[in-house]
Amino acid sequence: MKLQQLSLFLENRPGRLEAPLSAIAAEGINILTLSLADTAQFGILRLIVRDWERAKRVLEQAGWVVNLTEVVAVDVLDRPGGLAEALRILEDSDLNIEYMYAFSLRRGDKAILIFRFEDPDRAIQVLTDKGLHVVDGEELMSFVP
Amino acid sequence: MMSVRSTTTAQPHPMWDRAAETRPRAEREALQLERLRAQLERARRVPFYRDILSHRELGPQSLRSLDDVRRLPFTTKDDMRRQHPLGLLAVPRKELARIHGSSGTTGTPTFVGYTAGDLQTWSELCARFLVAGGLRPEHTVQVAFGYGLFTGGFGLHYGIEKVGAAVIPVAAGNTRRQLEIMRDLDPEVLICTPSYALTIADTARELGLEPRALPIRIGHFGGEPWTEDMRREIEEQLDIQAFNNYGLSEIIGPGVSGECQARTGMHIQEDHFLVECLDPETLEPVPEGEPGELVITALTREAMPMLRYRTRDIARLYRDPCPCGRTTMRMSRVTGRTDDMLIIRGVNVFPSQIEEALLRVEGTTPHYLIEVSRPGTLDEVHVKVEIHPEIFSDRMDRMQALCDRISREIQTVAGIRAHVDLVEPRRLERFVGKAKRVLDTRGLAD
């Protein structure tokens, strides 16, 4: 049920984001979504890709420090209040979210939320119990070309 | 004690101790030799020196001329560290009147002991260079040097009192308060590091004050290397006369040498210090006026009779006459170091201390670079550390905590605040042989 997320360390200076993205593009690896957390000095690029093992290899060979993290994807209705509703459920369940990001799918009426929980296994249990739909990797990949 | 001696303003070049400062060279050299012999006797009370001197069969009779100082052993900072904390004392502990210290490469300071007599000598020495640089008994002096283990604050403080001027012991920091005190009390003289003088000027402007209108007319600056360009800038911005002085805690603190009104170099207080200028490789004397490492023997120190201390400071020595009438040898500014020591905001820092701090943080790689710059008037340090899989996290809070932790360790070990810049792997240059760990863009060498 869990997804593998790749994280990269980037210096915060011009051109640093483009380089790793080009490296995996050259290998024909498609990015489902990404998020960037940054300070004035450095950034952390987080990527969900179709073939994470190959992407990790490519990036590491090119010299990046890549970290592998298990994250959880949940789908919600792509309409006003969709995210808020999901977050309310999470708040009530006392799950600790390290960070999250979201994206909408090009097809259908769904948006995907990506969560980094302290304890992903318990989170999946709680989310499922509360009636939220946890999307696994295979299903997520089927949504995109 | 000695009151105001020959410091009347009628004389063009007032001196604190005219007899000592204008003593004919031959007479002074005889005094130096006599004191060197006495110092050798005193050094024999220190086990460290006794062993070496006995082994080399050196006694006062071995010193027939001042040149024979070269038969004596060197003392290094490492020797001091091996004798930590006070193994180089030549007097019983109970005779100490004060203990100062300086930062060392291990994070623990090296301590220096003073007898009551040493403190008297020290005040005299500071009085000499303060008067040479325009201090008068009627002046009020703002001391913005740190008071503490650092020798700057207390050394100058007692020198000013010795001259008979009034001291405002503000100590370092809180620039706004420094300016308020300056406006309230009208001190004519400022004592601090040269870079802090520029900070005071900057802060004054920020507060809408004209720095040139501040009451300060004279500045005595030291504790860190500076240049003639900086002097011009300080003098222009504050409308003052700026004087340089030199000293180091291992020998006594400030007071080893200082400038007179002629500003043709710093007059060395030769009756208290025997200063050699040596090629740091061959350890042979360099020709007069050539740069070399200063090696100093303290001729009158009671608590710690330092023999031939290798300062690692590079400077030049001059013996040509000075218009002020002092007959003492002069030294140039310190233009470099023979080791990799950095002086950052007046704090001595060795790159090995930064390395030690990094070693305390697991997973930081052996690749780092210390960048020292002076973007405004104050030194800034950035420590670049290569990121490594062991320390990389996808969580921002963890990454921030890592930077904070490295910064804290650097503060603990080296005593300076440093910005920690994490950089991508292999971003820092790799070296075959000795790695270059420091990029100093302050341009301090003249």
> How does residue B432 score in pLDDT terms, banded at 50, 70 and 90?
low
Q: Show residues of chain B in contact with A16, CB under 8 Å.
A: 424
Average confidence (pLDDT) over B190-196: 92
Distance (Å, whole) CA B356 – CA B353: 5
**CA of B424 to nearest chain A CA: how many angstroms apart?**
6
- Which range has the worst mean pLDDT, A15-24, A87-96, B202-211, B240-249? A87-96
Name the pLDDT band for B131 (thresholds 50, 70, 90). very high
A17-46 average pLDDT score: 93
Please name the member of A39, A46, A63 whose beta carbon is closest to the beta carbon of B425. A63
As a whole number of angstroms, the distance between CA B362 and CA B358 comes to: 8
pLDDT score of B2: 45
Asked whether the beta carbons of B231 and B254 are under 8 A apart, the reply is no
Inform me whether the C-beta atom of residue B171 falls under 8 Å from chain A C-beta atoms: no
In the block, which residue shows the tokens 């993290």?
Answer: A69
Q: Whose structure tokens read 């450095």? A: A42
What is the predicted pLDDT for the residue at B434? 65
Half-sphere exposure of B232 (CA within 13 A, CB side): 3
Average pLDDT over residues B13-24: 96
CA B178 to chain CA centroid, nearest Å: 23
DSSP structure string for chain A = --EEEEEEEEESSTTTTHHHHHHHHHTTPPEEEEEEEE-SSEEEEEEEES-HHHHHHHHHHTT--EEEEEEEEEEEESSTTHHHHHHHHHHHTT--EEEEEEEE-SSTTEEEEEEEESSHHHHHHHHHHTT-EEE-HHHHHHH--
b (16+ CB within 10 A) / e for B58-91: beeeebeeeeebeebbebbbebbeebeebebbbb
pLDDT at res. B443: 79
Cβ within 8 Å of residue B330, ≥6 positions away = B257, B264, B265, B266, B267, B268, B317, B318, B319, B322
B371 — contact with chain A (CB < 8 Å)? no
Q: Which residues in chain A are contacts of B421 at CB distance < 8 A?
A: 41-42
Do residues B144 and B180 touch, judged by C-beta distance below 8 A? no
Residues B102-120 pLDDT 10s: 865 455 679 999 999 999 9
Chain B residue at shortest CA distance from A45? B394
Domain with CATH 3.30.300.30 in chain B: 344-440
Q: How confident is the model at residue B3 (pLDDT cuts 50, 70, 90)?
A: very low
- The tens digit of pLDDT for each residue in A103-114 reads 887 767 889 999
B83 Cβ partners below 8 Å, 6+ apart?
Answer: B48
Q: Does B395 touch chain A (CB under 8 A)?
A: yes
C-alpha to C-alpha distance for B21 and B199, rounded to whole angstroms: 34
**Poorest-confidence range of B101-115, B166-180, B359-373?**
B101-115
pLDDT reading at B8 higher than 50: no
Domain B344-440 has CATH 3.30.300.30: yes
Q: Looking at the complex, does the CB of residue A35 fall below 8 Å from at least one CB of chain B?
A: no
pLDDT band at B40 (very low <50, low <70, confident <90, very high): very high
* Closest chain B CA to residue A9: B424
This prediction has a pTM of 0.76
Task: Report ipTM (2 d.p.).
Answer: 0.88
Distance CA(B285)–CA(B12), nearest Å, equals: 35
Does the beta-carbon distance from A65 to B387 stay under 8 Å?
yes
The alpha-carbon gap from A71 to the nearest alpha carbon of chain B, in Å, equals 11
Tens-digit pLDDT profile for residues A82-128 = 888 888 888 888 888 999 999 887 767 889 999 999 999 999 999 99
Q: What is the predicted pLDDT for the residue at B346?
A: 81
Q: B18-339: CATH homologous superfamily? A: ANL, N-terminal domain (3.40.50.12780)
> How high is the pLDDT of residue B103?
63
Interchain pair B396, A39: CB under 8 A: yes
Long-range contacts, B9-16 (Cβ 8 Å, 24+)? B9/B136, B13/B132, B13/B260, B13/B261, B13/B262, B13/B323, B13/B324, B13/B325, B13/B326, B14/B131, B14/B132, B14/B136, B15/B128, B15/B131, B15/B132, B15/B325, B15/B326, B16/B124, B16/B127, B16/B128, B16/B130, B16/B131, B16/B132, B16/B163
Q: Give the number of other CB atoms < 10 A from CB of residue A133.
A: 13
pLDDT at A104: 86
Query: Within 10 A of B373 (CB to CB), how many other CB atoms are there?
Result: 15
pLDDT digit string, tens, across residues B404-415? 999 999 999 888
Q: Which of residues 64-83 of A touch B (CB under 8 A)?
A: 64-67, 69
Ranges in chain B annotated CATH 3.40.50.12780? 18-339
Ordered domains of chain A (ranges, CATH) = 3-69 (3.30.2130.10), 71-143 (3.30.70.260)
Residues 418-437 of B with CB under 8 A from A: 421-427
Residues B378-400: tens digit of each pLDDT: 899 999 999 888 889 999 999 99
Report CB contact under 8 Å: B392, A99.
no
Give the pLDDT confidence score for residue B425 in this predicted structure. 86
Phi, psi dihedral angles at B65 (to 5 degrees)? -145, 170
